[in-house]
Amino acid sequence: MSLPKSQPLTYAGAGVDIEAGNRAVHLMKQAVRSTFRPGVLADIGGFGGLFALEPGKYREPVLVSGTDGVGTKLRVAQLTGIHNTIGIDAVAMCVNDILVQGAEPLFFLDYLAVGKLVPERVADIVSGVAEGCRQAGCALIGGETAEMPGFYAEEEYDIAGFAVGIVDRSKIIDGKSIAAGDRVIGLPSSGLHSNGYSLARKALLEVAGYRVDTYVQQLGRTVGEELLTPTRIYVKTVLPLLERFEIKGLAHITGGGLTENIPRILPREVKVVLDRAAWPVPPVFRLIQQIGRVAEEEMLRTFNMGIGMVLVVPPQQAPAVLQELDKRGEAAYLIGRVEAGDPLVEYTNG
């Protein structure tokens, strides 16, 4: 069999530009180094990230790990051409998850897959990851950028994150001590966070016909600005509370909303009753519900509805927790109580 004559093949000719990858690493170095904290033992560029645990700080140290992505929120970043915030979401989804175990985030790694490696775009994305790490107090000690032509379109990319934290075994928060009479405190979200975007995009971009640059009076900004608002990172709000108060349970309100996430931390014999009038619901949720004619139950099991983190505390400590948060300029709401029953969430209206 005779093969057709052609030019010699190269990796760059096949769509993978090693030089562009090297340039991307150079552009991101400063942002990555800005996240380093005590314990980081190696600069970026090695085959693995090294992190030393501080000796004597923990009696029985337990490592807590989490991984997540940001779902179809990525499509909004690609539509707007704004790429320097989506990395915050990647960090937030991971560190908030390990925080609910009582863990302090130590370090983070990211995985970025792109259709075409544009160094400036990659640097923008990683700058967001670095900002998320700074907000969480953890180090960005490693990552991978994979150029995958033919698998992703040139403008497409995906990102996933991996976080590792630490907690003393005796201080692990698992919800087992939650009992009837306990109070439920909600910390507000910054908006949609990184969940429900398939429904949100369907309602806003398809049914309503908005563009990402459409200004919506009800939101007070463009659709793109609203949808790209980064997920709130709760680490520096919650960790100090763990030192002063008995926090019996924590729930990160992600996909599944309040309805599905709170029962994950409840013992078998109790339920949570939430007062829907106890906290303000950001306008974006009502806009989506109105445009899509979405049932209230569907909203509550899809979106966070304005509450991104839930704390369960003993009744006698709830006022002091709220006072402490208020003193620090943090909004917080007493949104419900724990009662005897099956482990689920019920809603009341005042």
Query: What is the per-residue pLDDT across 267-276, written as a single tens digit (0 to 9) for each?
Result: 999 999 999 9
The residues with which 149 forms a beta bridge, in sequence order, are 152
Break the chain into its structural domains and give their ranges: 18-42+59-171, 183-348
Q: Give the residue, 10 or 108, on which the prediction is more confident.
A: 108
Q: What is the model's pLDDT at position 4?
A: 64
Longest dimension (CA), the chain: 84
Superfamily grouping for domain 18-42+59-171: PurM-like, N-terminal domain (3.30.1330.10)
The 10s digit of each residue's pLDDT in 14-62 is 777 778 777 777 777 788 788 888 888 887 777 888 989 988 888 999 9
Phi then psi dihedrals of residue 271, to 5 deg: -125, 170
Does the domain made of 183-348 have the CATH classification 3.30.70.20? no
The residues with which 216 forms a beta bridge, in sequence order, are 221
Closest CA to 140 of 152, 128, 122: 128
Q: Give the residue, 11 or 42, on which the prediction is more confident.
A: 42
Low-confidence winner among 19-23, 126-130, 149-153 (lowest mean pLDDT): 19-23
Phi then psi dihedrals of residue 214, to 5 deg: -75, 125
For residues 128 and 3, what is the distance between their CA atoms, to the nearest angstrom?
A: 48
**What does the DSSP assignment read for 324-337?**
HHHHTT---EEEEE
* Element holding 150 (H helix, E strand): none
The residues with which 153 forms a beta bridge, in sequence order, are none
Q: Average pLDDT, stretch 174-184? A: 97
- Domain 18-42+59-171 and domain 183-348, same fold? Reply is no
**What does the DSSP assignment read for 153-219?**
-TT-EEEEEEEEEEEEGGG---STT--TT-EEEEEEPSSSTTSSHHHHHIIIIIIS---TT-EETTT
What is residue 249's three-state secondary structure?
strand
Q: What is the DSSP letter of 90?
A: H
For 1, 110, 171, 202, the CA distances from 206, given in Å and listed in that order, are 52, 31, 47, 5
5, pLDDT greater than 70: no
